[in-house]
Structure 1
């Protein structure tokens, strides 16, 4: 009996050793594919940023959904207005704030903490000035859309919608700057709650203004403006009151005026970098507006654009992680760590993109019903799902590589890449397939896929052949090498 017990113990011990050996082999294989420690760091950073960006993006999108259920004309007008507002205003504000990813990111890595608050104020001044200019353009939305051969009735609805979004534009610009300020310090966990609360409030505000007041259609964009201001106020109070920012936020200072020009040197290329991509999406919406059955085609393409944008907001958390990790490491003079962080981030972006694509494939009908009750639109959206899947994967990779570019201060190079890939490749192919070959919506989106794929390839080559050691030396020799 004792002998049998001994044999069982030996056997169990042998099985345990075998399992441990298999586990070691498995971990070794994963470590060859993905640096687990770096991946863990980036996932813990990315997940809160993913939720935060999605919550903030959903505020104007929920308003579109409420407006869309008022009728097909209202859906077309709201989706066109939202697309117009995103590419001419909201995307521009996101782009302007990208300067802080370089300035604050490398400044934090170099332990120049006081300068982060100064850069933030300079960026907010820039956002305010450009918000005034964009507001003037938004007041002229209807004649501009008509000039671009959009349907008169849809243009009128879109112009009305955009006018009530103007107050929200100012709040959105300030909001994006504060997000970059927090992001570059790796303060991300509190953002989940701070962004979720305004979204929940927004659903109630939008429902009340659309259904309980005479505002109806106008209540949807007004609700978005109110909720964006609530979001900005909540984040501002957090920065001012939290003790963890005592080193990076010293209150308002006139010193920020001296850094406006330096900020602009990065902010304008960063804005151009973002807007060139967003404008390519908007061109698709405009092209859809001059196709046969423009009301349905415009709604369909706009829904695809919004779906792509939501998917991008999800992967943008990884883009933010890439920008922060790369800029912090370069600021600290660790170019090898910056390069490793980039490689891990690209792999994670592919994994996340496949998850998003799988969710879209399984739930595209449910998603489409959030925008419209029309069976024709829901059916056509289902046929666009395979095209959306390909574009989401390409967009995910380029999003991360764009974050690396912002972290390194390469915004001006990314501008050339986006200009060439979208406007010399993507849009011409979209026009050829959509109109000449009469593939319509599918042709337009295929052209976009070509542009995104070329963009991702070009950014990959740029980062792969970059002189990382030289960037490292520049960070050590210069207090602010990104301003050169």
Structure 2
């Protein structure tokens, strides 16, 4: 048998070798565009979070939508109430529960599993304590709205809506604490299973209470409270009964009271960072109430805020994954991998943001119809849609940068950035354009776009030029030690 190769076989081998090189080349180019392994890891972590976040927040959003179909006045009142609930209640609860990302995350990494359950109980005690004061604020919301120069009729309807949402506030705070407790242990799928059923039943509950009973508007907020409690109870039963959490949940203990101060030291800065951003958006709804035809502009701005919030629901899973990955890699002494993780998140966010923008451009009339039957408001919403696409695009990238700041431990810095960009740049520009130049709803939204742009530039500058490091938080002493890597 001859050892030499025939010309045909040589050509075939050369072609096969060339084909393999082309395949490897395409694979290498794809990996340079996107780190596929990192992207896969982040998607597995973020997708369940996206689904669960949408389910939780859609409960309150769907109630506002059902109230809006009762009339323009009811829509304005329900949207004002929803904005006020977010400003004074829900954002506060989310910020407080953010402390568990640090305390439970570090405790799980250090294998001090018992501490996770104690921190969870301390957080629920703190949430309940603050919920009492927020409930009192909601009970007297009507005179507060009137003092803020809101329309008296809209203020009365918003106050009625808020009173029946008070029970849901307590459930929402407990729910956010359990969510962070499970996420710290990378147990995310139960969040999906226990959120889909309550979201599905909520449509039935709110439809029956609003349309089949005499409670009307009250039924919309009552349904939200009922569904939030169903969600909390189901997750609490899972935590108490599953064997998967037997190391981190040993049952109720009075020892948790001794960790309240430690929890507050971490929770209050986290709350400030979260609330300053959310308050800027909700402040636009109050400003819209000062304009002529306030019921129209209040509804429009509130719809824009709810749309922006919905977009944040979708990108919130990616931002949570980015924060987790950045923190994990910095904790392991790998700042370059942390930066690579951030880059992968930015690329995934670009794809997701493009999809959201296209959906809004082509489906804005359908989306607006979920909130109202008024053709005037639907038409006005269409004229604001291009500005809304810009704000969503900027907001999604800013959300990732804020997640990186949380992962790096830059919360105090982020608080200053949020304060400066929103309240010294964005809101003043919104007032100038909306009132003095009479651009009304468009002027208000252009102002918030300016704030988002400046915030993104500031966060990006610190992300690129500030040294990345990990922070060790001593739970016992409450002191922070920066460890540079």
Identify the residue that residue 298 of structure 1 maps to in structure 2. Answer: 298
Unaligned runs of 5+ in 2: 1-5, 481-485
Identify the residue that residue 121 of structure 2 maps to in structure 1. Answer: 121
Do residues 41 (structure 1) and 57 (structure 2) align?
no
Q: Which moved more, 1:22-31 or 1:227-236?
A: 22-31
Do residues 312 (structure 1) and 291 (structure 2) align?
no
Query: Would the aligned equivalents of 2:108 and 2:116 in 1 still touch at CA under 8 Å?
Result: yes
Query: Would the aligned equivalents of 1:110 and 1:332 in 2 still touch at CA under 8 Å?
Result: no
Do residues 92 (structure 1) and 92 (structure 2) align?
yes
Return closer, same or farther for 1:127/1:318 CA change in 2, 3 Å cut-off. same
Identify the residue that residue 192 of structure 2 maps to in structure 1. Answer: 192
Identify the residue that residue 259 of structure 2 maps to in structure 1. Answer: 259
Q: Show CA shifts across 1:387-444 (max 9, x none).
A: 1111111111221222233333332221111100100110011111111111111111
| Correspondence list, 1:158-307, <5 A | 158-307=158-307
Q: Show CA shifts across 1:39-82 (max 9, x none).
A: 11001111111111011100011111111111111111111111
Return closer, same or farther for 1:75/1:14 CA change in 2, 3 Å cut-off. farther
Work out the CA distance in 2 between the residues paired with 1:189 and 1:21. Answer: 40
Work out the CA distance in 1 between the residues paired with 2:331 and 2:284. Answer: 39
Work out the CA distance in 2 between the residues paired with 1:228 and 1:7. Answer: 74
Return closer, same or farther for 1:327/1:260 CA change in 2, 3 Å cut-off. farther
Identify the residue that residue 422 of structure 1 maps to in structure 2. Answer: 422
Instruction: After TM superposition, give the deviation of residue 184 of structure 1 in Å.
Output: 1.7
Identify the residue that residue 341 of structure 2 maps to in structure 1. Answer: 341
Instruction: After TM superposition, give the deviation of residue 34 of structure 1 in Å.
Output: 2.4
Do residues 396 (structure 1) and 412 (structure 2) align?
no
Query: Would the aligned equivalents of 2:262 and 2:475 in 1 still touch at CA under 8 Å?
Result: no
What TM-score results when the alignment is normalised by the length of structure 2?
Answer: 0.93
Identify the residue that residue 408 of structure 2 maps to in structure 1. Answer: 408
Q: Show CA shifts across 1:23-46 (max 9, x none).
A: 322222232232221111001111
Report the secondary structure of 1:467's partner residue: coil
Query: Would the aligned equivalents of 1:145 and 1:155 in 2 still touch at CA under 8 Å?
Result: yes
Do residues 142 (structure 1) and 142 (structure 2) align?
yes
Q: Show CA shifts across 1:203-242 (max 9, x none).
A: 1110111111111110000000000000001111111222
Q: Show CA shifts across 1:236-255 (max 9, x none).
A: 11112222212222222222
Identify the residue that residue 371 of structure 1 maps to in structure 2. Answer: 371
Query: Would the aligned equivalents of 2:194 and 2:235 in 1 still touch at CA under 8 Å?
Result: yes
Instruction: After TM superposition, give the deviation of residue 125 of structure 1 in Å.
Output: 1.0
Work out the CA distance in 1 between the residues paired with 2:176 and 2:24. Answer: 44
Query: Would the aligned equivalents of 2:120 and 2:178 in 1 still touch at CA under 8 Å?
Result: yes
Identify the residue that residue 3 of structure 1 maps to in structure 2. Answer: none
Instruction: After TM superposition, give the deviation of residue 173 of structure 1 in Å.
Output: 0.3
Identify the residue that residue 21 of structure 2 maps to in structure 1. Answer: 21
Query: Would the aligned equivalents of 1:48 and 1:188 in 2 still touch at CA under 8 Å?
Result: yes
What TM-score results when the alignment is normalised by the length of structure 1?
Answer: 0.93
Work out the CA distance in 1 between the residues paired with 2:105 and 2:461. Answer: 23
Instruction: After TM superposition, give the deviation of residue 334 of structure 1 in Å.
Output: 4.5
Query: Would the aligned equivalents of 1:308 and 1:392 in 2 still touch at CA under 8 Å?
Result: yes
Report the secondary structure of 2:260's partner residue: helix
Work out the CA distance in 2 between the residues paired with 1:7 and 1:246. Answer: 69
Identify the residue that residue 55 of structure 1 maps to in structure 2. Answer: 55
Work out the CA distance in 1 between the residues paired with 2:240 and 2:338. Answer: 31
Instruction: After TM superposition, give the deviation of residue 157 of structure 1 in Å.
Output: 0.4
Return closer, same or farther for 1:234/1:123 CA change in 2, 3 Å cut-off. same
Comparing both chains, which one has the higher relative contact order based on Cα–Cα distances under 8 Å and sequence gaps of 6 or more?
1
Q: Which moved more, 1:348-357 or 1:308-317?
A: 348-357
Q: Which moved more, 1:325-334 or 1:61-70?
A: 325-334
Query: Would the aligned equivalents of 2:265 and 2:478 in 1 still touch at CA under 8 Å?
Result: no
Q: How many residues align?
A: 475
Instruction: After TM superposition, give the deviation of residue 12 of structure 1 in Å.
Output: 7.0
Instruction: After TM superposition, give the deviation of residue 332 of structure 1 in Å.
Output: 4.7
Instruction: After TM superposition, give the deviation of residue 93 of structure 1 in Å.
Output: 0.5
Identify the residue that residue 32 of structure 2 maps to in structure 1. Answer: 32
Query: Would the aligned equivalents of 1:96 and 1:123 in 2 still touch at CA under 8 Å?
Result: yes
Identify the residue that residue 385 of structure 1 maps to in structure 2. Answer: 385
Report the secondary structure of 1:272's partner residue: helix
